């Protein structure tokens, strides 16, 4: 399955780049286990951040960042089979889950729930 990993990235960071990098690292921490379980992991920031850099985004909160940050996840979900929602407050991740449910995708809340990853 192509699985979108959703969880806090910007939420609760005050747009501090170090805290955001820590959050991205937490999201990425489940990517290898998902891959080893036979799936393709995906994180929206893996796509959104390079796109923003290409058009000159200076980071979270500027209009160029906003052009890509949430729309990327929405478009990715059109191709994903499931979402793995990691713990932590995040409006963006909650929206990913809402869209996944609306589209009939499976939503997992723990890595151990994902087939082959237990």
- pLDDT computed for residue 37 by the predictor: 98
Segments in the chain below pLDDT 70 = none
Determine how many CB atoms are found less than 10 A away from the CB of residue 82. Answer: 19
Q: Where are the domains of the chain?
A: 2-112
| Residue 108: strand pairing partners | 84
- pLDDT computed for residue 30 by the predictor: 98
- pLDDT computed for residue 66 by the predictor: 87
- pLDDT computed for residue 51 by the predictor: 95
- pLDDT computed for residue 118 by the predictor: 77
Fold of the 2-112 domain = Rossmann fold (3.40.50)
The predicted-structure confidence for 71-97, as pLDDT tens digits, reads as follows 999 999 999 999 999 999 999 999 999
């Amino acid at each position: 399955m192509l699985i979108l990993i959703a969880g806090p990235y910007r939420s609760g960071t005050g747009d501090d780049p170090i805290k955001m990098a820590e959050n991205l690292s937490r999201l990425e921490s489940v990517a290898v286990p998902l891959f080893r379980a036979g799936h393709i992991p995906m994180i929206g920031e893996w796509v959104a951040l390079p796109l923003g850099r290409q058009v000159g985004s200076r980071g979270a909160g500027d209009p160029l960042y906003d052009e890509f940050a949430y729309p990327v996840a929405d478009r990715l979900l059109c191709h994903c089979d499931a979402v793995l929602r990691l713990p932590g407050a995040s409006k963006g991740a909650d929206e990913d889950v809402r869209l996944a449910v609306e589209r009939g995708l499976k939503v997992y809340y723990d890595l151990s729930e994902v087939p082959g990853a237990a």
